[in-house]
Amino acid sequence: MKVRAFAKINLCLDVLRRKENGYHEVEMVMTNVDIFDVLEIKELEEKKILLKSYNTDLAMDETNLIYKAIVLLQNETGKDFGVEVLLEKNIPMEAGMAGGSADAAATLKAVNELFKLGVSDERLLELGASLGADIPFCITGGTVLARGIGEKLRHLSPLPKMKLLIVKPKAGLSTKTVYESLDIEGLNKAGFKHKDVREMVSVIESDEADKTKIEKIAKRLDNILEIPSIKLLPLISDIKQKMLENNCLGALMSGSGTAIFGIYENDEDMQKTKETAQNQGYVETILGRKLYTPNINSDNFLTKEAAQRAAINAPLQGSAAEIIKLAMIAVDKVLPKDKALMLLQVHDELVFEVDESATDQIGQLIQNAMQNVLTDTAATLGWQVDFRVPLVVEIGVGDNWQEAH
């Protein structure tokens, strides 16, 4: 038996509070997208669970949610059976697209059917919730309003067909890390204004024309988890900005990240970066630096595909490189050399050695300089950059690089 496990994106996600058991109470709207894993499930004569995948990065053992889902069904029904699952992994990992949850949900449904276990749909949802908050949604699919920890579902009207571009940076963030970095109590005490998820629900349930509905959905995209995720990985903000520069109606990080999706009105805007590279032989960064793609028109399909992917990625990572270089210029101008030294750059970080007595003062100087590089430093050097997403800089202090994190 072959089954598909579909990914999801969050059109909006709000965290209301942290519960006593450590879970977070959320309100969010989720919907499936046409990216899916494929699971081939078959019975084994030997009474064992065997998981296989061509993706060597996956743990195909008892820690995998697929394995846990099978064991859960065995315990629920009291039946011992042998099963093999071959997983074709297409949903990116650590993307906020419920890849693991989708696989577990597909396994619960398929194994229940294959072995005629007779577990009801309602009970499957309960079993799924015991494995993960997203799994009940992945079992039912569609478009839903989710509450509680994500297990209380209200199904909404089907969405109009939307054109989406999804970008997944190589870097990933675990859900645990993102939620631990979200100071929801602090935000609430400071009067943080939560977006009303009901506005998104109202748009989805409306009788408006598809084009109008899509535009309104794009304007109401919101995810509170972008606050900690962008601090942990500023590249997320850069990717959103690049999408908006290419006539994206709206862009958002899905779930706890790090995948970012953009909603487009037409294929032309969505493919603009790729086409520019094909026509010109290069793409440009945020400061106009040309990045050449000599293989973009290659007759070799694989070579051409690789060049097209590079053409989409280069403006994002190239722009990020420019921003950190501007930051080094900006900081050098304000850094008191008798009390601080800039030691090195590590990806999107700068490392300093600072007089301990002046840590707070110098930290503030550095933070201000780095956060204003596109409005101040770039403009001073002759670049006018329309960057609509604020740069967020976090300062860490410690006796060594590890402690500063």
CATH code of the domain in which 28 resides = 3.30.230.10
Could you give the count of Cα atoms lying within 13 Å of 237 in the half-sphere of its Cβ?
21
Domain span at residue 45 reads 2-154
Using CA atoms, how far residue 165 sits from 30, 224, 252, 310, 363, in Å, is 17, 21, 11, 15, 38
Please give the radius of gyration of the chain, using alpha carbons only, rounded to the nearest integer: 24
User: Which residues contact residue 322 at a Cβ distance below 8 angstroms, ignoring those fewer than 6 apart?
Assistant: 285, 286, 287, 289
More confident residue, 287 or 115: 115
Instruction: Check residue 55 and give its pLDDT.
Output: 83
What is d(CA 119, CA 107) in angstroms, rounded to the nearest whole number? 13
Asked if residue 57 is part of any domain, the answer here is yes
Provide mean pLDDT across the span 272-289. Answer: 67
Average pLDDT for 98-113: 96
CA pair distance 356, 340, nearest whole angstrom: 9
In a domain, 221, yes or no: no
Domain membership flag for residue 322: no
Residue 24 lies in a domain: yes
44-58, 172-186, 383-397: least confidently modelled range: 383-397
Q: pLDDT value at position 276?
A: 52
- Taking residues 246-262, report their average pLDDT: 92
Given pLDDT bands bounded at 50, 70 and 90, which one contains residue 142? Answer: very high
* The amino acid at 28: M
Query: Predicted confidence band at 332 (pLDDT cuts at 50, 70, 90)?
Result: very high
3 state DSSP class of 108: helix
pLDDT of residue 281: 66
pTM of the complete model: 0.67
Report percent pLDDT > 90 for the chain.
60
Is 218 a domain residue? no
So what's the pLDDT on residue 385? 81
Active site residues: 8, 134
* Nearest alpha carbon to residue 140 among 173, 169, 105, 172: 105
Name the residue with higher pLDDT: 302 or 352. 352
Q: What percent of the chain has pLDDT over 70?
A: 97
Note if the bond before 375 is cis, omega within 30 degrees: no
Highest-confidence range of 288-292, 307-311, 362-366, 388-392, by mean pLDDT? Answer: 362-366
For 335-357, what is the mean pLDDT?
91
Q: Does 249 reside within a domain?
A: no
**Has residue 344 been placed in a domain?**
no
Question: What would the pLDDT profile of 199-211 be if each residue is shown by its tens digit?
Answer: 999 999 999 999 9
Specify if 104 maps to a domain.
yes
Total domains, the chain: 1
pLDDT in tens, 161-198: 999 988 888 788 888 899 999 999 999 888 888 889 99
Mean pLDDT across the chain: 89
